[in-house]
Amino acid sequence: MELLGILSTSFLISHWLICIIGAALLSTIYRRLTNSLSHIPGPEISKCTDANYTYNWLNGTVPMYIHQLHGKYCPTVRIIPDQIDICDTDAVKETHKTNSQFSKTTFYRKLAIGNEPTVFSTTDRHFHTHRRRLLASPISNSSLARLEPLIANRVRIAVEKITMDIIAHGVTDVFKWWLFMATDIIGELTFGDSFRMLESSHQ
């Protein structure tokens, strides 16, 4: 009697395992046949699972992995069952233009600091349009062109300081000078006056 109970239990477990594996297999086949991205080239494994992408993501090698895929397949490549990667300048412009019909993925919400959305992190088109309109004038080409002499002057001073440092010591810390330059430019643009970190050569 005890042997019969063990056999029936193992029979039930094996049946459940077969059902689970069968359901996963059917789901994979269904996704592969009905997915609107099925015509886009990519590795066979990418059509069924995101395991390969996840492995590369965990290893920090996603950029190299995707670059290899573009080299092997084409500018548009399928990287997971429901996602593609595009390496084409015209397509990028079309996707990211102001009145684009393409929506941002929910991935961008993870980039928000706290619960407050920003122009970069929001996926809400109305919010994005409203905030972008507020920034349109300061980041227009004409506004940026007016700032070019100011920025060029700071760059010139930074290059002079780097040159002097190399002549005096034989080496220089480029990061330090670029940080000073960026901080001075931010001060000039934000507060109307530079912090003069380049001139003083210290923070």
| pLDDT the model gives residue 32 | 65
pLDDT at 9 (0 to 100): 65
Per-residue confidence (pLDDT) for residue 4, from 0 to 100:
47
Phi (first) and psi of residue 42, to 5 degrees: 165, 175
CA–CA dist 57, 42 (Å, integer): 17
Q: What is the pLDDT of residue 1?
A: 47
Can you list the residues of the chain whose pLDDT is less than 70?
1-12, 28-29, 31-34, 203
User: Bridge-partner residues for 85, per DSSP?
Assistant: 77
pLDDT in tens, 125-134: 888 888 888 8
CA torsion sign, 155 to 157 to 161 to 166?
Answer: positive
Return the H-helix or E-strand segment holding 99. none
Reported as a single tens digit per residue, the pLDDT across 79-103 is 988 888 999 888 888 887 777 788 8
For residue 98, what is the DSSP state? T
Answer whether 180's CB lies under 8 Å from 202's CB. no
Query: Phi and psi for 111 in degrees, rounded to 5?
Result: -85, -5
**For residue 155, what pLDDT is reported?**
95
pLDDT at 12: 65
- Give the separation between CA 117 and CA 163, rounded to whole angstroms: 42
Q: Is 73 exposed, middle or buried (0-12, 13-18, 19+ CB in 10 A)?
A: middle
What are the φ/ψ torsions at residue 98 (nearest 5 degrees)?
A: -55, -45
Number of neighbouring beta carbons within 10 Å of residue 197: 20
60: exposed, middle or buried (Cβ count in 10 Å: 0-12, 13-18, 19+): exposed
In this prediction, residue 136 carries a pLDDT of 79
